[in-house]
Amino acid sequence: MIRLMHAKLHRAKITACNVDYMGSLTIDPLWMKEVGILPLEEVQVVNVTNANRFVTYAIPGTPGAGEIEPNGACAHLCSEGDIVIIYAMESVPRHQVVDGGHVARVLVFDGDGTTSLLRQTVNTDGSEFSFDSHDFAQEGLATV
């Protein structure tokens, strides 16, 4: 088994920090669905603003509200307005990646509030590998 990133929210902005909540990371469920993060799934968070890192689990917030809110102890590691990278990993049999490749979905947040959805792929023939990153819109693919 190897661990590969399968879902990522890149450069999202912290909208609130809730120290008195029992833990987790509240994420807009529309964004969770776009990249494939499930409720209660483990996520890793990298705070680009202050270099803090933590592991917690995702819970859905209000659809369309644009929430990214660390709760409980991890709220001490962020401030409202911080820029973060949130990603989820999955364990995959190595032979499955060698035989069939791997796809990850990445939602990229731009400074002006817009987003773009990327599809990142790894393919291999067993000895050589290729990596590619394409915008879903450029490929004419619909988002989930």
Structure tokens at 38: 């499930």
Beta strands 42-47 and 53-60, pairing class: antiparallel
* Set 24, 87, 91, 130: catalytic member: 24
* Residue at token pair 């990327």: 118
Q: Which of 113, 108, 117, 107 is nearest to 138 (CA)?
A: 117
57 as an active site residue: the answer is yes
Are residues 104 and 133 in contact, defined by beta-carbon separation less than 8 angstroms?
no
Residue 124 labelled as part of a binding site: no
Residue 144 class from Cβ within 10 Å (0-12 exposed, 13-18 middle, 19+ buried)?
Answer: exposed
How many CB atoms sit inside 10 A of residue 129's CB?
A: 12
Catalytic residue among 57, 87, 91, 116: 57
Positions marked active-site: 24, 57
Annotated binding site for substrate: 56
List, as residue ranges, the binding site.
56
